[in-house]
Structure formats: C-alpha cells, structure tokens
Amino acid sequence: MSISKNALTVLERRYLAKDDNGKLIEGPEDMFRRVAKNIASAEASYGKSKKDIKKIENEFYNLMADLDFLPNSPTLMNAGRDIQQLSACFVLPVGDSMESIFDALKNAALIHKSGGGTGFSFTRLRPKNDPVMSTSGVSSGPISFMKVFNAATEAIKQGGTRRGANMGILRVDHPDIQEFIKCKEDLSVLTNFNISVAITDKFMKALKKGEEYDLINPKDGKKCGKASAKEIYDDISSMAWKTGDPGMVFIDRINKFNPTPHVGEVESTNPCGEQPLLPYESCNLGSINLSHMIKDDEVDWDKLRKVIHTSVRFLDDVIDMNKYPLPEIDEMTKNNRKIGLGIMGWADMLIQMDIPYESTQAYKFAKKLMKFVQDEGWSASEKLAEERGTFPSFKGSIFENDRKVRNATITTIAPTGTISMIADCSSGIEPIYSIAYVKTVMDDDALHYVHPFFKQKCEERGIYTDELEEAIVKLGTTASLPGFPSDLKSLFKTAHEISAEGHVQMQAAFQKHTDNAVSKTVNLNTSATKDDIANVYNLAFETGCKGITVYRDGCRGTQVLESGSSASKSKTDTAIHQTTLADIGIDSNGKLRPRPRPLMIHGATHRMKTGCGYLYVTVNEDNNKLFELFARMGKTGGCAASQTEAIGRLISLALRAGIDSSNIIEQLKGIRCPERALGKDKIYSCPDAIGKAIEGHLKNKGQIIQEMTKLDSGVRPECPECGGPIAFIEGCLICQNCGFSKC
C-alpha cells in the first residue's frame, strides 16, 4: 500500500484509532482492515458463508488499500468502533411549533455528536411578527431560530474529529426571504451554517418576464404579498458577491427527480448541497479515484466497471451496518436505501489524457464517463435486488414499472476534501487549485510540493528545470510564465483561471448523469462583479444544475487600507506614522534601549470583542507617539489573560525602542485561532484584536497605517490547526495541508 507522507499526516490527525491517552493504536492498513471486516459482516444477513464473507472482506480491503475507492469520512472513522455511525448526510424536519423546533435541535445535536452534518428547511416556520394564538404574542421568525441552532452547533464537537456543519434553506416565496438572504452579511453570525435559497420554477419565470411573484405564509399556505423577482435575485447575487452566501438550490427540479414522491417531498439538502434528502433521511457516500482508472493514457473501462460494482455492494452493506442516531432515520434510510457513489481525481484524469479542463472535449468526456458510472451503478443495484430484494419503498417509486433495483439512488458527486488527500488525487470534479505550494514543517523548513503530473509532463518535453520549479512554487500557476508552452498552460489551468462559464458547464455535464446532485464551487477572481454572479446562477439553471455555489476570492476578507498618496487626498488622510533615529535611545555601544517612562502619560482604552470574551486594550502616547500598550481580558486568569499581558509588555518594549507601529500591526493582524471571527471588523484572535486596536487608535488621530507586504485580504486565510493554506472547494473551506474542514 502506497500512502503519501501528507496522506499519513491526515490519517494520523483525523482517522486512525487512538487510545485514551491519544496514542495511535492502528496504522492505515489496520484502519482499512477494520472497515472492510466490519462492512463485509453485513453479508451474513443475506446468507453468505464465512468463506464468501472473507472473500468479500478482502475485496473491500483491496479496494480501499489500493486507494481506488474510499467511503465518506464517518465510515473510515467509525466502522468497527463503538460509535458505528457511518453516514455523512442527514436532513431533519423543522415544523412550526416550539416542540418541533427543539426536537430538531436535540436531534441535530445527536447527529453532530456522532460525526454527521445536518440540513434543514426553515420554510415551515411562520414569518417574523406573525401572530401566535397560543401565547397572544408574535413569531420571531426563522432567522432567530437559525441562530439558536448555530449556537448549539458551536458547542458540539463531532466525535472529537469534526465540528458540526449545517445547511439552512428557505424557499424564495417565504415572506422573510429578504432577511434570510442577508442573514450572513455580518460574518460573525451563523458561522456554522451554509445557506441556500430554494428557487422555484415560478420564481424563475417571473424573473425572466420581469414580474412580481407571490409570497406564501407557510402557516396557512395563503398568499400574503408580492415581491419583485428581479429585486430578490439582485439581493441574492449581491450578498453572494459580498460573502459567498447564499447559494441556490432549484427545488422544483430536485423534486422532479425525486425517486420516491409517494414517501415525501424533498425540502433540503446536506451541508454542501450535493445530497437532496427527505426529512429524517440519511445517505452514505463514497468516491472512486479516477486517477487510478487510466492505462496507457486511456480509461481502463474494465477496471472501472469492477470498481463500480464492488463499491455499490460496499455502500449497500454500509446501510445495514450503520448505527443511526435516531429510530426515524433508521427506518427512513432502510426503506429507501439511497447511496451516493461519486468520483474524485477528475482533473488528474484529464491531465493524464492531455485534455484541458476548460474545453468542449472535457465536457463531452465528462458526460460519457459519468453515464458509464451511472449505468454500471444501476446494473450493480439490479444484481443486488436479485440477491436481496428491492428497497422497501419500491412500490410507488419511479422504478416500479421499469426495473427492480436495490437502491432509490446510486450516484452523487460529493466533496472529497480529506479523502482525496488520503488518495493523493484532485478533489471531486474540481480543477486543480494550485500547481505547487510550500509546506512549512518543523524548524521552519520549507518543503516544495509540485503537482507530480506537471513535473512529469514538463520532464517529458525536457523543460523542467530548477528555475521553473522555483517560479511555479512562487506563482502556483503558469499563467504569467513567459515562453511556457501554450498547450501545457491550457492543460494546467487552475481553479481561478477557469472561466465562470467553464465551471458551470463542467458541473452541468456531470449533473446530466448523476441521480442526486453535484458538489462544486464556482471559484471567481476578486474582480468578478455582481452581474457575473447573477449570470452564473442563471447559467446553472439553464444548463440543468440542481444547485450552485459561488465563491469570489477575498469576499469574506477585510477591506485593504489604501496606501500612498494622490492629488485628491489631503495630507492628513495620507499621513503615515513613522519614527526617526531621534526617537530612539541608543547607548554608547550602539544598541537600542527603550525610552524611560515619564510619571504621567495619556491614552485611550479600546474594548475589542474576541472569541475568548472582551479584550480591553489601552494604548498610551508620549509626545503624540505611541509609547506603551496594556492588554487585559475581561475575565481574569487563564492562559489567554497571561498571554495577552505578555504581548502587551513586548509591544510596549518595541514602541519605547522606536519600532514603527505599522510593523507591529502587520505582525499581529490576521493571526487566527480556532475561535470564530467576531464583529463587523472580523476579530480573528486576541493578537489580531490588539493589532486592530492600535490601528483604530491611530485612525482616530487622523492617521492611516501604511499596509505592509502581507495584506490580510482574507483571500488565503490560514488553517486554525496547522497554519496551512485554506481554499474554498466543493462548497466548504478546506485546509490543503492537514485536511481541516469547516464542514
């Protein structure tokens, strides 16, 4: 078994079993054997002999150990262990009563504790200020309850390995739709929610005609007003431009393809949007590594077929071995037996076949390949139905008069953030995010990681040199490399070099032959406009997508302060705080010494809201120059309080020695800790709060700090666990170094 060093790091951090002291008690082979043995034991329920079960166990083991297929993270983490909760996706109903709302909250907590993510539609909740007859009061509306769900999620760790993630959905015809669209404008709230607007066909028709559409009160289903489709659409596009939320799910299209309409209507999806589910339904997912399905630069269709059939059997067995957090979920999941077989390594496959990601050839090939996966997946399900029978809700399903199958759905293209790191391949159907990056390890050693296929393709042409490696590590892309072959530039386009249309066309190509939906992010450059995002949404609808997520680079970052000067600016506006040698005490040996402190000094105290509580930062001045700083937590004691005191002492020493305040601000701003960012100015940590307090102090005096080279634009926020690069991929923030995920 070949496991890369980076994959091993991810496995050790998140997947491999540990004892009570946190010491590893299994290796990768042990993990795959644990999972294979546990899942294969389901075969006993269908009359398989011990010999046959052992054979199937070995097939499952080889499938995973060869990294040809990997199940979703909860299966790898929990199969064969006490938790035994194997699904990643759940949807819970939220009804219009306190009992239903808080039942959903309790159930979500149980799911998060077991390692799953939850999706909710809040559409059934009556709008804000609607009368509540039982109390003679008025409703607080869906958004207020979403905040309650968010706070509960914040307090729960998923099995000690993943933090809870939620999807919040509201229909576009709900009276509170405008408040919902803007509910994440302040990035410090609803931090554990992705949100999407459930778009109806009626809304899209009204938009096309430039008309208004009806708003519906869910309490009684009656019309209660109208809204301009264009205004709502513009609001959605504007907020997505600003924050990345909301996305869109085309709810009528999703229900058009609902395989069991007699069981219920789809209201919501899982957190990343690729799995529409009925209330109380769950789905287990797994992905095939396409980078391993190539032989002599062509697809090895025979190998792919075999992997598909074994994977479908594996996922169907997971349904029986799963320990569901609620009896309602157990019943609903086993009645429909939905599975979600997907793919990863798509970009790697295209590179191996010399097919540019953004090309008609790639879109055609995507349809061909996914049709093969879908057709062979259903063939495998038909064989399982012959062995085991159809799924219990089969009668009344869309298959009743067509064919007998074991599962209500077969294919889903799900996020593969961490499992693709284990498999050492590209994520899902996303393009490569960067050709190279630098990883900092112990003792600040910098290791260069260059995409192996890039190196291979360049070596085949005799153009790979140390100079090229240095340039590609620095840039991460070939776009600005002079003289680099144009065909290789096209082949190695990164996510931000792919046009918005190219992203959507690829998603639509795969959606055509995917039973459920497709997780994909349309990554846009920071220069993208609101109209660009509106066009992306429209193209997604027109090309048959079931949902769409857009992320404009830097949309969640702080605004960069302007530096330099121009004729239109006053001298005060462009003043830059600087120090001179006259401000610095220098002893006879030429060494810096801090200036002595006078008996009396003036300053101001700034209250900063951090994830650890209120931080009070006092900035004092000497002759109009910053002299010292004190930082104290609102609550006494603890590491946070002692560390902020130490930071204050060191800053004071630096200021008194004449260090320019802009250098100090640069070092502090942007430092992140695992606590969520708070406030309109996004306080990422206590050091970040101190840096911003100094900056605010100077701005109040009419001074603007000149930004240094490291600008905190939010384009590449650091991972809170390892400090590595985080990217917004497949609808979620994922660390490309250690596998940390917000979902």
CA distance 37 to 425: 26
On whether both 57 and 131 belong to a single domain, the answer is no
Q: What are the backbone dihedrals phi and psi of residue 227, each rounded to the nearest 5 degrees, phi first?
A: -140, 150
On whether both 587 and 650 belong to a single domain, the answer is yes
pLDDT score of 174 more than 80 = yes
Which residue has tokens 């002299």? 627
Mapped onto helix, strand or coil, the DSSP state of residue 378 is helix
* Per-residue exposure over 398-428, b if at least 16 CB sit within 10 Å of its own CB, e if not: ebeeeeebbbbbbbbbbbbbbbbbbbbbbbb
On whether both 94 and 222 belong to a single domain, the answer is yes
CA 129, distance to chain mean position in Å, is: 34
CA distance 567 to 633: 43
Please give the residue range of the domain that contains residue 290.
5-85+282-423
pLDDT score of 393 more than 60 = yes
- Note the pLDDT tens digit of each residue in 287-323: 999 999 999 999 999 999 999 999 999 999 999 999 9
Q: What is the pLDDT of residue 395?
A: 97
CA distance 337 to 112: 22
Mean pLDDT of 257-265: 98
Answer whether residue 487 is part of any domain.
Answer: yes
CA distance 339 to 277: 11
Write the DSSP string, 556-589. Answer: TSPPPPP-S--TTS-TTTT------GGGSEE-TT
Write the DSSP string, 451-478. Answer: -HHHHHHHHHTT---HHHHHHHHHHSSS
Name the more confident of 477 and 637: 477
The CATH number of the domain holding residue 47 is: 3.20.70.20
CA distance 410 to 377: 6
Query: Residue 633's CB: how many other CB atoms inside 10 A?
Result: 20
pTM, two decimal places: 0.80
On whether both 406 and 313 belong to a single domain, the answer is yes
On whether both 309 and 378 belong to a single domain, the answer is yes
- Note the pLDDT tens digit of each residue in 223-244: 999 999 999 999 999 999 999 9
- Note the pLDDT tens digit of each residue in 642-694: 888 889 999 998 888 888 888 888 888 878 776 655 555 678 888 989 999 99
What percent of the chain stands above pLDDT 70? 87
Query: Residue 285's CB: how many other CB atoms inside 10 A?
Result: 31
Name the more confident of 133 and 643: 643
- Note the pLDDT tens digit of each residue in 102-116: 999 999 999 988 878
Answer whether residue 192 is part of any domain.
Answer: yes
Mapped onto helix, strand or coil, the DSSP state of residue 250 is strand
Q: What is the pLDDT of residue 121?
A: 98
Answer whether residue 722 is part of any domain.
Answer: no
On whether both 225 and 106 belong to a single domain, the answer is yes
Take residue 230 and report the two structure tokens written for it. Answer: 């264009």
CA distance 626 to 607: 18
On whether both 146 and 265 belong to a single domain, the answer is yes
Q: How many folded domains does the chain comprise? A: 4
Q: Which of 45-54, 182-191, 273-282 has the lowest mean pLDDT?
A: 182-191
The residues annotated with a catalytic role in the active site are 270, 272, 274
On whether both 676 and 602 belong to a single domain, the answer is yes
CA distance 551 to 504: 13
Peptide bond into 246 cis (omega under 30): yes
Answer whether residue 234 is part of any domain.
Answer: yes
Answer whether residue 506 is part of any domain.
Answer: yes
On whether both 291 and 190 belong to a single domain, the answer is no
Take residue 596 and report the two structure tokens written for it. Answer: 């002595």
The answer for residues whose C-beta is within 8 angstroms of residue 734's C-beta and 6 or more apart is 415, 417, 418, 427, 726, 727, 728, 740, 741, 742, 743
Crossing angle between the packed helical segments 452-460 and 466-475, to the nearest 10 degrees: 140
173 neighbors 199 (Cβ within 8 angstroms):
no
pLDDT score of 559 more than 70 = no
- Of 423, 446, 471, the last residue of a domain is 423
Mapped onto helix, strand or coil, the DSSP state of residue 269 is strand
On whether both 331 and 475 belong to a single domain, the answer is no
Nearest to 664 by CA among 577, 738, 543, 569: 577
Answer whether residue 431 is part of any domain.
Answer: no
Q: Would you say the C-alpha torsion 173, 265, 236, 741 has a positive or negative sign?
A: positive
Answer whether residue 720 is part of any domain.
Answer: no
What is the amino acid identity at position 650?
L
97: exposed, middle or buried (Cβ count in 10 Å: 0-12, 13-18, 19+)? middle
- Of 235, 269, 303, the last residue of a domain is 269
Q: What are the backbone dihedrals phi and psi of residue 654, each rounded to the nearest 5 degrees, phi first?
A: -65, -45
Answer whether residue 494 is part of any domain.
Answer: yes
User: How confident is residue 577, by pLDDT bands cut at 50, 70 and 90?
Assistant: very low
564: exposed, middle or buried (Cβ count in 10 Å: 0-12, 13-18, 19+)? exposed
On whether both 444 and 551 belong to a single domain, the answer is yes
CA 264, distance to chain mean position in Å, is: 29
Q: End-to-end alpha-carbon separation of the chain, Å? A: 29
Mapped onto helix, strand or coil, the DSSP state of residue 351 is helix
- Of 205, 237, 269, the last residue of a domain is 269
171 neighbors 123 (Cβ within 8 angstroms):
yes
Nearest to 162 by CA among 417, 431, 465: 417
Write the DSSP string, 588-634. Answer: TTS-EEPPPPPS--EEEEEEEEETTEEEEEEEEEETTEEEEEEEEES
* Per-residue exposure over 345-373, b if at least 16 CB sit within 10 Å of its own CB, e if not: bbbbbbbbeebbbbbeebbebbeebbebb
On whether both 598 and 530 belong to a single domain, the answer is no
pLDDT score of 129 more than 80 = yes
